[in-house]
Amino acid sequence: MISNRFLNATDFLGFASSLSPLENEVKDTLRSKLYQKRYCKGELILESGTICKRICFIDSGLVKTFFYTDTREFIMRFFAEGNMFTVFDSFISQRPSAYGIMALEDTVITCLNYNDLEMLCQQHHVIETFYRKLLSMAAVNMMDRIGSNLEEKAHVAYHRFLKAHGMLLQRLSLADVASYLGITQVSLSRIRAMK
Amino acid sequence: MISNRFLNATDFLGFASSLSPLENEVKDTLRSKLYQKRYCKGELILESGTICKRICFIDSGLVKTFFYTDTREFIMRFFAEGNMFTVFDSFISQRPSAYGIMALEDTVITCLNYNDLEMLCQQHHVIETFYRKLLSMAAVNMMDRIGSNLEEKAHVAYHRFLKAHGMLLQRLSLADVASYLGITQVSLSRIRAMK
DNA sequence: CGCCGAGTTGAACTGAATCAAGAAACGTGG
DNA sequence: CCACGTTTCTTGATTCAGTTCAACTCGGCG
């Protein structure tokens, strides 16, 4: 049984331990593979078309994963401090990513490379457990999103977003929220106008 | 690196082994926990509101995972023979499922219970690896679907569906395909009418 | 002060939903 | 094997939500 509510980690190791308790020696091994990176607001963390080599914990800041069509941008997900992100399809397959990642605020992340994670998974069962549970959480989140994408009219989706991610709202532009919801910024503006 | 293309398993053990090679003794342990079930066309495999206790391999047949709103049905995914399914959100959390599962044809499945899988994951690292890779595959599939839900107009989504799942088309009703795409059967009929 | 980006508002247009009626396919019993 | 009813699919008319394009407002900042 896994739920975001129990996760309040402030760093990568804490996050991992909360999913799968790690003995100190495993922690040390894992720590030795981690590295930190800093990005400025607006900077690309991953360019679409390149391979996503790392999985990251957000120490501070805010990030979006997104993609473009000819005419519009769409946002897959926002990630704020205390959460982990990667572009799973590229990370898992180690093939070029259809998605990009961008820092929406000045952001500090702690990263672990694909090869290191795979190696650690083989060496330490508890790390594979951590990774498995992380994937489980991601899967549940994605199911939710698929369901609501199918079901909901834009104004319903917006109010659900408010409920689920309301605390992010003041940190996001209208345009980004709209891209997340799959509607235009103009439509979102109208939705907010009524009631 | 994981891709459906490499999976051509005809049974649960074969499927699992193709993701994570299993030694014979592990196979035997796993086999001892499996059980088979048969369902007739139209029969519910899981009723929404109940807890999904098992993960299943389809020996033969076809299945949909779905949910209702007041007025409409929506389909999360179809699964045909040779694939594994469960309702991940319920299975992972062991909480009541928002989704149901129904057999669209006479269907035979091989099942493994949640408790047994969790136990096997603890006991055998290779089984956890199998489960982790299965989750990875599911995550990639779901990302795809989220992206295309956001991006695509109905007729584009339909043609993508044809490409990806064309071989299922003759086994599905128009209504089910429409529910999968998130449009009405009437709209889908019109889309097919043009060119 | 004037510019610039972010958000709002209006008018015309478009894709899809809804409601309703008809056609085609399918199965079951006589 | 046909007749009937049911289900599945198509087609038309109307309505509505959301897009597009464009003009306008507002607050911050050089």
CA pair distance B105, B38, nearest whole angstrom: 11
Nucleotide nearest to B156 (CA to C1'): C15
List protein-proximal bases of chain C (any atom < 7 A from a CB). Answer: 6-10, 15-20
Asked if B173 CB < 7 A from strand D, the reply is: yes
pLDDT tens-digit series, residues B108-161: 999 999 999 999 999 999 999 999 999 999 999 999 999 999 988 889 999 999
Question: Which positions in chain B touch A2 (Cβ < 8 Å)?
Answer: 92-93
CA pair distance B139, B88, nearest whole angstrom: 10
Confidence (pLDDT) at A7: 58
Kindly identify which residue of chain B lies nearest to residue A131, measuring between CA atoms: B132
pLDDT tens-digit series, residues A108-131: 999 999 999 999 999 999 999 999
What is the rounded average pLDDT of the residues A66-82?
Answer: 91
List protein-proximal bases of chain D (any atom < 7 A from a CB). Answer: 8-12, 17-22
Q: Which residue is nearest to nucleotide D11 (CA to C1')?
A: B190
Asked if A155 CB < 7 A from strand D, the reply is: yes
What is the rounded average pLDDT of the residues B22-49?
Answer: 94
Asked if A148 CB < 7 A from strand D, the reply is: no
Confidence category of residue B10, pLDDT binned at 50, 70, 90: confident
pTM: 0.91
Confidence (pLDDT) at A5: 44
Share of chain B residues as helix, strand and coil, in percent rounded to the nearest 5: 50, 25, 25
Query: Buried (b) or exposed (e) across B48-69, using 16+ Cβ within 10 A?
Result: beeebbbbbbbbebbbbbbbee
Confidence (pLDDT) at A3: 42
Taking the CA of residue B124 and the nearest CA in chain A, the distance in Å comes to: 9
Mutate to test the interface with B, among A77, A150, A187 (most CBs of B within 10 A): A150
Tell me if B93 and A140 make a contact (CB, 8 A cut-off). yes
CA pair distance A97, A101, nearest whole angstrom: 10
pLDDT tens-digit series, residues A36-55: 999 999 999 999 999 999 99
